[in-house]
Amino acid sequence: MAASTSFDDIILQLGEFGKYQRRMLLLVFCMALPVSMHAFVQVFLAAYTDHWCTLPAQLQSSNCSQWIVPTGSTCDDAKKELCIPKTESGSYEQCARYNLSYLAMPDDVPDISNLSDTMSCDNGWTFDHSEYESTIVQSVGSVLFYLFSTYSNTV
């Protein structure tokens, strides 16, 4: 019967941790650093950000001077509250807005108590920039809206 060789015997035959092994280890570490950065950059570049439909043109120029804006809120918050319906959980809808085509002037104070007529986003999306200034999701979302609106206009 042949004598069995243990793993330790094989390692002794190969040699100790020498110059070649140190070079290979350094090379692997040097290559791993950029690869790991490339893998983890998606966490920041492709981050999901909150979004909602862009406001209609007649409201974008409004200055909310006649509106009752709650303390601590901005005019933009009041416009968002007016235009974007809320879900059952209390967050804003992301792909629908109220149909406010009946507004005659930008400074009208609309009655939002009976709004129920919603429509899909027709002017693209507005993204929340409080956490990330720009992400791939925002860029691709804008491109997809452009492509979709161009395609739907041609059909």
Q: How far apart, in whole angstroms, are the C-alpha atoms of residue 85 and residue 94?
A: 9
The pLDDT, as a whole number, for residue 113 is: 59
The answer to whether residue 115 is domain-embedded is yes
**pLDDT tens per residue across span 20-33:** 889 999 999 999 98
**pLDDT tens per residue across span 123-136:** 888 888 888 787 77
Q: Give the Cβ contact number of residue 153 at 10 Å.
A: 7
The pLDDT, as a whole number, for residue 27 is: 94
The answer to whether residue 7 is domain-embedded is no
More confident residue, 20 or 45: 20
pTM of the model: 0.58
The answer to whether residue 41 is domain-embedded is no
Range(s) of the domain holding residue 67: 51-154
The answer to whether residue 21 is domain-embedded is no
The answer to whether residue 5 is domain-embedded is no
Q: Indicate if the pLDDT at residue 80 is higher than 90.
A: no
What is the number of domains present in the chain?
Answer: 1
The answer to whether residue 61 is domain-embedded is yes
